[in-house]
Amino acid sequence: MDEVAAVRRFHRAVVRRVGALEEGYLGRDRPLGQARLLWEIGPEGAEVRELRARLGLDSGYLSRMLRALEAAGLVAVEAEEADARVRRARLTAAGRAERAELDRRSDALAASILEPLNPRQRDRLVAATAEVERLLVASTVRVAVTPPTRPEAQECLRAYAAELAERFDGGFDPTVGPAAGAAEFTPPEGEFLVAMLDGGPVGCVGVRFHPDVAEVKRMWVAPAARGLGLARRLLAEIEERARVHGLRATRLDTNATLVEAIALYRSAGYRAVPPFNDNPYAQHWFAKDLDPAG
């Protein structure tokens, strides 16, 4: 495919230009992977399991890199006092100095990439790298059907309720209005989807299956993940789940305060319909007929 070939060419160009294949990245005596690990541990330290999730590494490979950095006197890995099962990596004084030097050299490398370009080219490159970063992050988000009682699902639902309580005049109580609890989002009554990024939940949406239509509920995206197209992706995922269950339409209600959500629904092909429930927080009702072929 031309798209795949283009991404591969880009990947090869970046790897070559930043020196990722050199044994000593940025002229130091360690490879890129170890240098990146020093940066991820950071001045505050980090739990080993968080590092594993954030970097997408298997435990064996991460352990080997940590041992190499420990042997070099740059990192110390210790058990937490409160829970010996939890290990935390922290930078030693030498590790902090090495991280600062890597930052300095990384800045110099970035400057060397920009320096030969004219101002217009620099602006184009900076804008393009920002867009590529957003898209690469978006491509790492994983969406999966998740029991609504799972901790990651509950975290999303709490954040959803907290945000609506802040945005709605008079607050928000998730127990008021049409039922949308765990039972409604558990098969066969419905499903709940959670989006995960770097080991943590960044979005969710629920769907309730009625005899003739799927009802979308509890859509939320973490502020840090907004701008990645995740809300649109969650909506599309729910529509596909409705098709899988043989339903030909989706519907939802929303509050006038949620102008971003309303704009999303309209751009995704939802049309305004008469009220279909007595939700006290609902001020707009929308529906969409689904193409069976998607």
Dihedral angle over CA of 149, 150, 152, 154, nearest 10: 20
pLDDT value at residue 86: 86
- Tell me the sheet residues that pair with 89: 46, 77
Asked if the 142-289 domain carries CATH number 3.40.630.30, the reply is yes
Residue 120 has pLDDT above 80, yes or no: yes
Provide the 8-state DSSP code for 42.
T
pLDDT digits (tens, 9 = 90+) for 256-280: 999 999 999 999 999 999 999 999 9
Q: Which residues of 81-97 are buried (b: 16+ CB within 10 A; e: fewer)?
A: eeeeeebbbbbeeebbe
Distance CA 265, CA 261 (A): 6
Q: Retrieve residue 125's tokens.
A: 């490159």
pLDDT in tens, 93-105: 999 999 999 999 9
**Tokens 């789940």 found at:** 241
3-state helix, strand, coil in the chain (%, to 5): 50, 20, 35
Domain boundaries, the chain: 2-116, 142-289
CATH number of the 2-116 domain: 1.10.10.10
- Which tokens belong to 211? 């005899």
Residue pLDDT, tens place only, 45-85: 999 998 998 888 888 999 999 999 999 999 999 988 777 78
Does residue 211 carry a pLDDT above 80? yes
Q: Are 95 and 38 in contact (CB under 8 A)?
A: yes
Taking the C-alpha atoms of residue 286 and residue 273, their distance in angstroms, rounded to an integer, is: 5
**Taking 90 as the threshold, does the pLDDT of residue 127 lie above it?**
yes
Is 177's pLDDT higher than 90? no
DSSP symbol at 25: G
The whole-angstrom distance between residue 237's C-alpha and the CA centroid of its chain comes to 15
- pLDDT classification of 1: cutoffs 50, 70, 90: low
